[in-house]
């Protein structure tokens, strides 16, 4: 079973903070909806924002990110 609360979106930034995948996906979804509401596509843009980086759930990608942090 995947523990979604520990998945990261990318390596740490200069500020040293982790960007959790769930927070990243939700943030992108909200932003995409706000942009797309101007042309009546807010709900679909929200869902696409949630799905845009879903492949980062892959354990191999998560291992890659962890290895990058250790270097």
Higher pLDDT, 32 or 2: 32
Quick one: which of 17, 1, 2 has its CA closest to 56? 2
pTM for this model (two decimals)? 0.84
pLDDT-derived band at 3 (thresholds 50, 70, 90) equals confident
Mean pLDDT for the stretch of residues 49-70: 93
Domains of the chain by residue range: 20-70
Residue 69 confidence (pLDDT) above 90: no
**Residue 49 CB neighbours (<10 A):** 21
Phi (first) and psi of residue 23, to 5 degrees: -65, -40
């Amino acid at each position: 079973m995947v523990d979604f609360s520990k998945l990261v979106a990318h390596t740490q930034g200069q500020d040293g903070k982790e960007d959790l995948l769930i927070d990243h996906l939700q943030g992108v979804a909200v932003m995409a909806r706000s942009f797309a509401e101007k042309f009546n596509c807010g709900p679909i843009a929200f869902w696409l924002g949630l799905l845009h980086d879903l492949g980062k759930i892959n354990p191999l990608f998560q291992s890659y990110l962890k290895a990058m942090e250790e270097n």
